[in-house]
Amino acid sequence: MKDTLDQHRVAAEPWYKPQGDEVALFTAAWTARMPVMLKGPTGCGKTRFVEHMAWALGRPLVTIACNEDMTASDLVGRFLLDAEGTRWQDGPLTFAARHGAICYLDEVVEARQDTTVAIHPLTDDRRALPLEKKGELLRAHADFLLVISYNPGYQSLMKDLKQSTKQRFGALDFTWPEPGIEAEIVAHESGVEAGTAGRLVEIGTRARNLKGHGLDEGLSTRMLIHAGRLIAGGVAPRAACSMALVRPITDDPDMRDALDAAVATWF
Ligand code: ADP
């Protein structure tokens, strides 16, 4: 299927509740064409933020979920064989650079380092991408912007971004929104009323305190929204929380009991 720019336009405004001055800072980075790194745990609003900013800036958005099997060719492009012979197919990164889209590399740490290095020439003053197989040096469109997401909690010696990669980006920290804002997000996205959203956020806040004490990751805003949607759909709150909050996050029976008990104090 042929990739067209229109497929990547963000047609309707993605609802986004700011946590601080991230909208102004991202806009400034965009104006300076400074690549941006969004740092923070999974499910805290990074993707929604980029979608909102692409809409606000009127730019198409090309999103790439990174994984360890991804090669530089998957990003940059390759020659394909078809009835007429061989033809070059831009990869998503090349497509975005050529047409002036915002390119969002989600969870870039998952990609192999040689793949990550492929983005380097686009992030310095050259703003160019060598398409070696094709023998083309692509100059990025004036409106092209590279955005990556990065979860510092997952970092290990084997999986971390190289300093030489990190230092090419301006970074914005994302954390869990403060409770009042998070409750508004949960209510808006799931359809539960404010009181229920507030109780879900209380449970989330308690569970996040267990990070490092038996839980590897805190409960994300995404999980609280899942619980809210079940409740809004008629599921009893304790069952909804068990399914959407407790079961996914731990296999340890004692931790499950502790979290179920916490849920029972709120619902
Ligand atoms: P991430 O990219 O950080 O993993 P997402 O952006 O996918 O997380 O966030 C998960 C969900 O949480 C979103 O689909 C959205 O419903 C909600 N969400 C989180 N933060 C916000 C926010 N600040 N404004 C609006 N929705 C949000």
Give the ipTM.
Answer: 0.99
Mutate to test the pocket of ligand 1, among 173, 221, 223, 226 (most ligand atoms within 8 A of CB): 221
Burial of 148 (0-12, 13-18, 19+ CB in 10 A): buried
Taking CA atoms only, the protein residue closest to ligand 1 atom 27 is: 45
Burial code of 181-214, b = ≥16 C-beta within 10 A, e = fewer?
bbbbbbbebbebeeebbbbbbebbebbbebeeee
In ligand 1, which atom is closest to the CA atom of 19? 23
pLDDT tens over the chain, length 267 residues: 456 888 999 999 999 999 999 999 999 999 999 999 999 999 999 999 999 999 999 999 999 999 989 989 999 999 999 888 999 999 999 999 999 999 999 998 888 888 888 899 999 888 999 999 999 999 999 999 999 998 887 655 557 788 888 899 999 999 999 999 999 999 999 999 999 999 999 999 999 988 888 888 889 999 999 999 999 999 999 999 999 999 999 999 999 999 999 999 999
Distance 18 CA to ligand 1 centre (A): 11
Dihedral (CA of 144, 221, 211, 250) sign = negative
* Cα(121)–Cα(129) distance, integer angstroms: 6
Q: Which residue has the tokens 């941006």?
A: 36
Q: Which residue has the tokens 């010696």?
A: 157
Instruction: Please name the amino acid found at residue 94.
Output: T
* Cα(102)–Cα(72) distance, integer angstroms: 19
Mutate to test the pocket of ligand 1, among 44, 106, 150 (most ligand atoms within 8 A of CB): 44
* Cα(74)–Cα(28) distance, integer angstroms: 30
CA 144 to chain centre: 18
Q: Residue 202: how many CA atoms within 13 Å on its side-chain side?
A: 12
What pTM was estimated for this model as a whole? 0.94
pLDDT at res. 19: 94
In ligand 1, which atom is closest to the CA atom of 48? 6
Ramachandran angles phi, psi of 129, nearest 5°: -130, 110
